[in-house]
Every structure is written in C-alpha cells, then in structure tokens.
Amino acid sequence: MEKNILKNKKRNNSTLFLILFAILFAGLVGGAFVSRGGMNPVVDVVSNEPVEMTFSDVLRRAGEIKTMKIRDNVATGQLNDGTKYNAVITYNPELLEKLSSGGTVVSIDVSKGWVDYLGTWVPILMGLFFIWWIFRGLRGGAGGLSRTLMGQNPTKIVTGKPKTTFKDVAGIDSEKQELAEVVDFLRDKSKFAAVGARVPRGVLLAGEPGTGKTLLARAIAGEANVPFFAASGSDFSGIIVGLGVAKIKEIFEMAKRNAPCLLFIDEIDAIGQRRSQNSFNDQDREQTLNQLLIEMDGFSNETGIIVIGATNRPDMLDPALLRPGRFDRQVHIDLPDMAGRKAILELHAKKIKMHEDVNLGDLARGTTGCSGADLENLLNEAALHAVRTGHKMVAPDDIEEARDKLIMGPRKIRKMRPEDIKLTAYHEAGHAFVSVHYADVTDPIHKATIIPRGRALGMVQHLPIDDKVSMSIAEVRADLAVAMAGRAAEEVFFGADKITTGAESDIAMATRLARRSITTAGLSNKIGLVAINQAQTFGARVPLENASEKTAEMVDGEIKSWLADAYRDAVKILTKNKATVKKLAEELLKRETLTGEEILEIVGKKTTKKTTVKKAKVAKK
C-alpha cells in the first residue's frame, strides 16, 4: 500500500511539472510567433480587406503612401486613394527618410503587449522553477530527490513470498549446507541471541555465470518464508551525482520496514569495485559504495536484514566490502561435478516427457564443464528438437543432437568438395584410433563424426568415467598424441604436401596443455619444479611474467619438443596400423557418425593391454 501511494505521488508530481512546462513553452512559442509577424494586431475589419504588399512594392510606390505605422517588421497604413495595405519590411533609416520627404506620415509603435512580456519572462520563469525543483529534491534527501529523479524504483518486491526452496536447487549441496544458518536465523533469531552468536550480516555468492547464484538467493528467502528484495548493481548508478546514494538509502529503508527479510544485489561489482587514489572521475560510484558500506555495518547493526551479493568477479570488490561485519561469508559456487550434473538433469527432466531409453547418467558424463543453466538449456533444446522431428517424447537421438549443438554448435549445411570430406574422415579416424590405442589412460571414446558443426568439420568425443581433479604425465602425453593424431593422419595417408589447416584447434589445445603442464605443474625435467605465472593482459601477447629471457626460450623449446614427440608417436601408431585406420575412415565416409562401440568393433579390440609399456616409453623425457 505504501509503495502504491509513493508511486501515485511521484506520478502526480511529474504530471504537474509537465503541465506547467507545456503552458510556459506554449507562451514562449506564441510570443515568438507574434514577433515573426504571424499575427496582425492592426486590422480594420469594417472596411475592405487590406492589400498585401511586398517590400519591393513599398519601395516602388513610396510616393503613393499616405500613412505608415510600423510595429517590428510589419507595416500597415493607407494609400493616397484610401486603400489600406499590409507589408513586411526591413527596418531602413533611408527608407523612412524617403517616405517622410514624400509626405508620408510615419509612426513607429514600440509598445509591448502581454504576449511580448510572456515571451520575455518564460525563459526566466522556467529557469527559476527548475532551480526550485532541484533544491526541493536536495532538501528532501532520499525522500525527495530520489523519489523525483529515479524514474522508477530499483527494487523488485516479489508479490507475497518466493515459492522457490532448496528442493528446487540441485547440484550444489555443500553450498546449501553453508547457507543453512542464514535460513535458521531468518526463521528464529532468538536461539542465536541466547548463545551470543552473531549470524553473518552479508553473504557473497561468487561463481561462474549460470551456476545458480540468483536461484540460490531466492531459495533462501523461500525456505525461510521471508520477503525478498532484489536489485541489480547497475540500478544504483545514474547520470546525476548523488542519485546512487539516494537509491541505496531507499532500498534499505524499505527492507527495514519489512525486516526480517533478504536483500539480494546481483552483479554487485558494478558498485563495489575496488577504490583507488586515481578514481576522481568516478566519485559517484565511490559515494554509492560508501553508503552501501554504512548501511551494511554502520551505526545501526541489528536491522534484521541479510544482504546477499552475487558476482562473477570477486577479485574486483573493495576490501572494505569483504571484511567481517559486512560480507562475513563468501560462498564460491563451482561448476557442478558429475553427481551434481546428474541431479540437475533429473530436476529439470521432471518437467519434460522423457523416453525410458534416455540415460541421464551418460549425459552427465558427457557434459563436463557445463553449468546448471547450460544443462537446463540442453534439455530444452532436446525438447525443441523432439517437437521438430514429431516425437511424442524426448528420445536419445534428441538428447544427442542437443548435446552436439551445445558442445560443437549448430549443424552447418556446407557444400564441401569430395576430397575435403575424405580428408576430414581420415583426420577424425586418426584421432579415434590413437584414442583407442591409449584407452587405458584416456577417457572412453563416445563417438566420431564428420558432420560439420560450428567451425568444426568433424569431432571425436569422449565420455569421462568420473571427474578428474588432476592428470598424470602419462595422461598428458597420451592426450597430446591424440590431439596431434589428426594432422598425423593427413600426412600418413595423403603426404606431407597435402596437410591442411584443419588441425588448427587441435594444435592450439595441445599447446595450452603442454604449456600449463610445463610452466605451472612442474612436469618437465628440463624446466624443473618451478611455477612460471602467465601475465593476463588484454589485447596483447601473454608473456612469462616471472621468468628471464633464457627461461622463456627454454620453455618454448620444451613445448615444441613435447609436441614433436607427440606427433612422432601418433605417426608411428597410424603407420603401423594403416589398414585398420583406413577401414575406420571408410566407415566414417559411409555412415558420417560412428558410436564408441562401433569404433571398437571396427578396430577389433575392446582393451589395449600393450599400451602401458608404450606409454611408459613415451612418458620418459
């Protein structure tokens, strides 16, 4: 009710100002119109209509003019024969002297009417009224200027209370346990006061986009059954200095009236960025941040408000905002692991008609690195594909199509030359065969395809058995060999002069893996157990930040050596099994897509027991 009254008051004040402004503007325009001669105040309606004369006519018939009355640039009068006239002239002393010498009675009207006075005073009145309006808002503080200049309330009060609970949030069980104390405090704070415990006044949720920060904040309010206030950090910035401070005051005043409650500020880094001595051009943001600091832990501490902030960049926030007493607790929401992805998929699958053959466990295995939002979008894309293909329920084919679209991009209809299609098939067959060769240390192969998607002409996909937290040097070497196998297959089957640019992404991925293993993981005997940080600069090369030029050259040489060894290893494996790889490529040309089981059947082996010795030789460096 209070919000509606405030909104109506804002609307009435704005309407009154617009009406007054329109009246004053109309007067100004009217005055200007009269001054241009659009109105003729001297008209004799009794006699005949006056003759319209131009300035040239006045000059030519100067001797025939008996009287002339001039007002601004409009001349009226009477000719010697009694005819009245109107004329628009230009003020010229020589013309007036010529008319007077010819016997014309000339008079100049310098009087001002009410329209002239209105045109003079309108700009002054408008300026005074605007100054009064501004000072009235400044005297009103948060209740004056903010309610007049904000345009709209930055807070979004949910009608009633959020219905979202912890049951609607999956895949982040540890984070939910971390926030259980906040829910208990909002439900009953007396048991905390009895022990003397202070519940965190603020909780900062940090994590990758799409991990469920906003959903988790709503779930806390719904679980505690308290009002939920939501705003974005950009809502507190404006073109008028001091507006952000007023908005901060208002949203906290509204929250205090509804305490205990939850105040959620999304993308808080928009106003909470780290302050510096050279930020004089951004004083409004700093004033807004100062007001937020005061409201969170100022003179009145026991407000019953718990502030939850969300950001993707916690490293950008000011230290004063993160200290105990403000954001006491920081909860980092990681991308879901395999069990979390399966729980998220099961939660969203309840809203979709799924075929019984759909295996959400396999889907969770094949979506490593996907956030909760990505998984929800994947199931939605699968449902859309099912509708397009006329399926009554979402089938495994729909899931596979949606997964390929999420990972590789939409399917491309490209007119490719037969030789390019053949080369792509051998390229992917090389990846697939070397992956099978190292099956005991690499992830199981899921499928190989030569259907173009996104920028890729084909791809070999793997399904990890479980989530990896680290990689052994044998796994790194095997992954490098698999990555270089596509280029190796092009050379083995078509010759060194027929290699293409199709291995561009493979080489880039292998280079990143080798550089990270050498510079940060200490897996190179030549470089040793030294962490060489990478300087993250925008729009420039990434140098070795804490390394000498000699060390940088050694790192570059070691990376080239690792990739060269992996390439030689892949060439050796493919050359030794050339007939089998050719058979695999021919099947790819026929079917376009082969599953992992079909690839193993063509290769003719389920496991590779001899690869352990081979990898041990590769791992020596």
Which of the residues are catalytic?
428
141, 245 Cβ separation under 8 angstroms: no
β-bridge partners, 311: 206
Question: Exposure of 2 by Cβ count < 10 A (0-12 exposed, 13-18 middle, 19+ buried)?
Answer: exposed
> Is the Cβ–Cβ distance between 154 and 251 less than 8 Å?
yes
DSSP state of 64: G
Helix H segments across 91-207? 93-101, 114-140, 145-149, 173-178, 180-187, 190-195
- Partners of 135 in the beta sheet? none
Q: Under 8 Å CB-to-CB from 60, ≥6 apart: which residues?
A: none
Please state, in angstroms and as integers, the Cα–Cα distance from residue 206 to each residue in 48, 374, 401, 408, following that order: 86, 18, 32, 28
- Measured over the CA atoms of residue 319, residue 322, residue 324 and residue 325, the dihedral's sign is positive
State the Cα–Cα distance between residues 168 and 379, nearest whole angstrom: 16
CA atoms in the 13 A half-sphere facing the CB of 380: 6
Under 8 Å between Cβ of 336 and 367: no
The region, left, alpha or beta by phi > 0 then psi within -120 to 50, assigned to residue 8 is alpha
Q: Please give the helix or strand (H or E) that residue 236 lies within, else none.
A: none
SS3 content of the chain, % helix, strand, coil (to 5): 55, 10, 35
Most distant CA pair in the chain, distance: 127
Q: What is the CA radius of gyration of the chain?
A: 40
**By C-alpha distance, which of 516, 534, 536 is closest to 524?**
516
The three-point CA angle 351-334-537 to 5° equals: 125
Strands of the 593-595 sheet, one edge to the other: 459-462, 445-449, 593-595
Let me know: does 295 contact 167? Beta carbons within 8 Å.
Answer: no
Side chain identity, residue 36: R
Question: Residue 360 corresponds to which amino acid?
Answer: L
